[in-house]
Amino acid sequence: MNITIVGTGYVGLVSGTCLADLGHSVHCVDINEEKVQMMKKGEVPIYEPQLEEVFLRNIKGNRLFFTTDLAEAVKKSNVIFLALPTPPGGDGSADLSYVLEVAGQIASLITQYTVIVNKSTVPVGTAKKVGELIKLKTSVPFDVVSNPEFLREGYAVEDFMRPERVIVGASSKKAFEIMEKIYLPLTNAGVNLIKMDEKSSELTKYAANSFLATKITFMNEIANYCEKVGADVDKVRMGMGADDRIGHRFLFPGIGYGGSCFPKDVKALIKSGNEIGYDFKILESVEQINEKQKTILVPDIEKHLGTLKNKCIAVWGLAFKENTDDIREASSLEIINKLLEKGASIKAYDPIAIENVQRLLGDRISYAKDMYECVEDVDALVIATEWGEFRNPHFEWLEKRMKNKAIFDGRNLYNLEELEAHGFYYKSIGRKI
C-alpha cells in the first residue's frame, strides 16, 4: 500500500520506517527542510536502537521517501497518518493546533476517498473535531481513524514490529478494512488488532499510560513505606508480581517516572476530566507523589554528608531512562538543581544524553567522559538512570577513586550484601541501608 506520514518526529519516523519494513511504500512529510535533506541522505535524526538499520534497509529498498511537499505526498496515497506534536498547553491540556492546522491543509488537497489516521496522543473527541473541520472544507469522501501508538523510547522498533496489540478506532467499514490491510503482516503473525469507536481508542492511550504511571507510583509509595517499617520492596515486588493479575512489569520503584509521555498524558487526562467537571483524584495524587519522589534522595544525601555546601556529587545517568538521550522531565535534572541550590557542585556522566544536558545547564555543572572519571574525588555518587553499564561496575575502582564511599541509588541496581562487603554506605529506594 501507499502511505503518507505527516510529521517525522519520534512517532512519525519510527512508524513510517516500520510501515515501510512491513512492505508498504511510505512517503514521510516534514516542514523542516534541513531534516528532510538529512534523512534523504540516509541520516537518522534521532537516537533509537535498531532504527538506523531498518531505516537504511527501506531507503535502499525504495519503500521509504522524504519530502517537505505535503501536496505531493498527499497525491501519492489515500491513507495519511498524522504524527504531529501535541505538547501540553499552559493549562496542561494537549495543544491540538498542529493537528488541526495540517488536517485543514489536507482537506484542501485530497481528491479521492482518504483515510486520515491519528497516531498522535490526542484527547477524546479529537477524531470528531478533525472530521468536522475537514468536512467544512471539502466534499471529497474521507474517514478519520484513531490508531494510537504504544512505543517505548529505546524499544520503539521492537514495540512497533511485535506489539501486544494494535488499536483501531473508526466508525466506517471501509476505514477498518484499510487499517486491517495495513497491519496484515502483523495480524498474520498473531498480533491482536482491536477494533473500537474513535473515542474509546483515543481514551485507551491515555488510560494505558496513566495506569502504568499509577502502577509505578503505587510501588514508589510501597517502597517509601517499606523503609519506614523495615521491609524490603524487592521482596514485596516479587511477591506481588507473581500474581498474574498484577504481573511483574512496571513494578520497579525508583526516583519517579519521567519522559515526554507519562507526565504529559497524566496531566492531560486530569485536565480533560476537569473540563467536564470530572475529578481524577487518583491521577492528581499520582502527579504529586511522582514530583516528590524525583528528589527523595536529596535529604538522605544531605543527612549523610552533614551539609551539601562545597561537596562534590557525581551523577550517573541523565536521560529519563536507559537507551535514550531524552532528558525531558528526567529526575536527574530535578536532583541536580536541588543539589546545586544547596551549594554542592556536580560532575555528571551519561552514555548519550550529555549534549542535551549541556545545552540546558551549560557550565553550571561539569561533565565526565566516562563513569569512572565521573567519581574521581567525589563525596557521593547518585545513580539516576538504569543504564546497563552502571549495573556491574568495578567496585574496587570506585573505592579507589571516590573521596567518600557513599552511593545513593535511585534505580536499585545493586545487591545490598555486595555493597556492604565493599564497605560502601548504600542508600537505595525501599530497601535497607
Give the footprint of ligand UGA on this chain (CB under 6 A). Answer: 121, 149-153, 209, 212, 216, 250-252, 254, 257-259, 261-262, 320-321
Q: Record the cell numbers describing residue 116, joined without a space.
A: 486520515
Q: CB nearer to ligand UGA: give 162 or 400.
A: 162
Q: How many other C-beta atoms are found inside a 10 Å radius of the C-beta of residue 360?
A: 12
Sequence letter at residue 392: N
Q: Closer to ligand UGA at the Cβ: 71 or 194? A: 194
CB of 245 to ligand UGA, least distance (A): 17
Residue 146: beta bridge partners?
A: 118, 169
Return the C-alpha cell found at 363.
557550565
Q: Are 375 and 398 in contact (CB under 8 A)?
A: yes
What is the nearest approach in angstroms of ligand UGA to the Cβ of residue 267? 13
**Comparison of 143 and 149: residue with beta carbon closer to ligand UGA:** 149
Q: State the minimum distance, in angstroms, from the CB of residue 220 to ligand UGA.
A: 7
Q: Which amino acid belongs to residue 278?
A: Y
Q: How far apart are alpha carbons 183 and 197 in whole angstroms? A: 18
28 is catalytic: no
Q: What is the DSSP string of 356-424?
A: HHHHHHGGGSEE-SSHHHHTTT-SEEEE-S--GGGSS--HHHHHHH-SS-EEEETT--S-HHHHHHTT-
Q: Which residue do the cell numbers 512517503 mark?
A: 27
Nearest to 227, CA basis, from 73, 5, 36, 429: 429
Which residues define the annotated binding site for substrate?
A: 150-153, 205, 250-254, 258, 321
Instruction: Please tell me which residue in 18, 28, 226, 261 is annotated as part of the active site.
Output: 261
> For ligand UGA, which is the closer residue by CB, 30 or 322?
322
SS3 content of the chain, % helix, strand, coil (to 5): 45, 15, 40
Shortest distance, position 397 Cβ to ligand UGA, whole Å? 26
Cross-sheet strand order for the sheet of 2-6? 64-67, 25-29, 2-6, 79-82, 114-118, 142-146, 166-169, 193-196
Minimum Å distance from CB 113 to ligand UGA? 30
Select 83 or 312, whichever has its Cβ closest to ligand UGA.
83
Q: Which residues are annotated as part of the binding site?
A: 30, 35, 86, 121, 150-153, 205, 250-254, 258, 264, 321, 328
Known binding positions for NAD(+):
30, 35, 86, 121, 153, 264, 328
Q: Least distance (Å) from ligand UGA to the CB of residue 257?
A: 3
**Separation CA 347–CA 368 (nearest Å):** 7
* 174 vs 292 by CB, closer to ligand UGA: 292
Determine how β-strand 312-316 pairs with β-strand 345-349: parallel
Grid-cell match 506520514, residue found: 5
Residue 101, sorted as left (phi over 0), alpha (psi -120 to 50) or beta, turns out to be: alpha
Question: Given strand 425-427, what is the order of strands in its sheet?
Answer: 366-367, 345-349, 312-316, 380-383, 406-409, 425-427
CB of 321 to ligand UGA, least distance (A): 4
Q: Of 198 and 322, which has the nearer Cβ to ligand UGA?
A: 322
Q: Give the residue numbers marked as catalytic.
A: 261
